[in-house]
Amino acid sequence: MENKIEIIGKNGQKLEITKAEKEKRANIKKVNDEFKKINAEKSKIINEQELWKYFFEKPKRNYNKYMYEMLEFPEYLMYNNENVDKYCGKWNDFFGNNNDIYLEIGCGSGNFTVQNAEKFKDRNYIALELRFKRLVLGAKKSKKRNLNNILFVRKRGETILDFIGKNEISGVYINFPDPWEGEERKRVISESLFSKLDIILKTDGKLFFKTDHEQYYEDVLELVKALENYQIVYHTRDLHNSEKANENIKTEFEQMFLSKHNMNIKYIEIKKIK
Ligand SMILES: C[S@@+](CC[C@H](N)C(=O)[O-])C[C@H]1O[C@@H](n2cnc3c(N)ncnc32)[C@H](O)[C@@H]1O
């Protein structure tokens, strides 16, 4: 039997691994460190005149100040499509471990994913958001907590196939997405999303959905019933008075719906069964 070597893991725990595993880890760490260095250098080089190119067709007169602040968090925030797409199928290299990867679509200012990353250090989290300020706030919270298992990415949920590989994701969170009343075809949770989850989500992986919106809740239940490779494994109209209440991590919108409007939160867990 091959001799095992004792090493200290990323989170300070003792691990016994083979020499080959140790070398593999060292290589992953090297790729990761190089990426972070390049990204940090690029961020410094890109000046205020050039940054717009990542987001707009042509220069504008005024920019959101958070657009520039995004440059300050190269380890926690990616906005450059080229960098993001390069990691398609290789996100474990980015995180420097083989832990499961969870994705949040429309993360707002990141409370939910930051708290998850803090609680589950042996999981990795990628959080998608479009708004500059919310991305910066999420990155700031992650840096303050010195987290090394979280990344914010400025990408639309609809584009996941551009930068996430086959079976790369263990769970997807969608919390309080816009219900698009009257324009329901624009909703993030749609048949088209499930056809993408067919590719990126592992078998037995789950989609977790929270909403304040009764009709969105009903529509998702109906939609999933018609899909043969997905199964609703849990649903409730009142998450905060359910058996899941204790483990629930509140999002910013959830907090607002509870405190200002005293609303019942609807919740669905959907499992990919094949
Ligand atoms: C109603 S907010 C909910 C934010 C957060 N999940 C929460 O519960 O507090 C919806 C968020 O999704 C983001 N968003 C909307 N469409 C998106 C899309 N197609 N891809 C990624 N994020 C999106 C918005 O910018 C917004 O921050």
Mean of per-residue pLDDT scores for the chain: 91
Residue bearing the bigger pLDDT, 142 or 37: 142
CA of 273 to the centre of ligand 1 (A): 27
Looking at the fold, whether 267 and 180 belong to one and the same domain comes out as yes
Residues 22 and 124 in one domain: no
**Residue 51: inside a domain:** no
Per the listing, tokens 């760490």 go with 29
Q: Is the pLDDT of residue 141 over 70?
A: yes
Residue 67 located in a structural domain: no
Domains of the chain: total: 2
Shared domain for 85 and 123, answered yes or no, is yes
* Same-domain pairing of 141 and 222: yes
Residue to probe by mutation, ligand 1, list 104, 114, 130, 134, most atoms within 8 Å of CB: 130
pLDDT of the residue at 147: 97
Domain-embedded: residue 118: yes
Could you tell me if 168 and 41 lie in one domain? no
CATH code of residue 143 = 3.40.50.150
Parent domain of 20 = 4-46
One domain for residues 86 and 189: yes
Is residue 94 scored above 90 in pLDDT?
yes
- Ligand 1 lined by 156 (C-beta under 6 Å): yes
Contacts of 242 (CB under 8 A, 6+ apart): 236, 267
Question: Does residue 69 fall inside a structural domain?
Answer: no
Can you tell me the distance from the alpha carbon of 66 to that of 52, in angstroms, rounded to the nearest whole number? 12
Same domain, 102 and 208: yes
Residues designated catalytic: 178
Residues 39 and 154 in one domain: no
Mean pLDDT (whole number) for 177-184: 97
In terms of domains, do 34 and 156 share one? Answer: no
**How confident is the model over 3-46, as pLDDT tens digits?**
788 877 666 677 888 888 888 888 877 777 776 666 666 555 55
What's the pLDDT band for 173 if we cut at 50, 70, 90?
Answer: very high
Residue 57 lies in a domain: no
**Closest Cα to atom 16 of ligand 1:** 106
- Chain segment 200-231, per-residue pLDDT in tens: 999 999 999 999 999 999 999 999 999 999 99
Nearest Cα residue to 55 out of 43, 42, 68, 41:
68
Is residue 58 one of the residues assigned to a domain? no
Task: Check if 251 has its Cβ closer than 6 Å to any atom of ligand 1.
Answer: yes
- Residues 93, 31: one domain? no
Domain assignment present for residue 60? The answer is: no
Does the CB atom of residue 100 touch ligand 1 within 6 A?
no
The pLDDT of residue 31 is 74
**Predicted local confidence at residue 215, as pLDDT:** 97
Look up residue 130 and give its two tokens.
């479009």
Give the sign of the dihedral formed by CA 130, CA 132, CA 137, CA 143.
Answer: positive
Clarify whether residues 119 and 244 are in a common domain: yes
Report how far residue 19's alpha carbon sits from residue 92's, in angstroms, rounded to the nearest whole number. 20
Considering the domain architecture, whether residues 184 and 235 belong to the same structural domain is answered as yes
CA–centroid distance, 105 to ligand 1, in Å, is: 7
Confidence at residue 32, expressed as pLDDT on a 0 to 100 scale: 72
Q: Is residue 206 part of a domain?
A: yes
252 lines ligand 1 (CB under 6 A): yes
**Residue 83 reports pLDDT greater than 90:** no
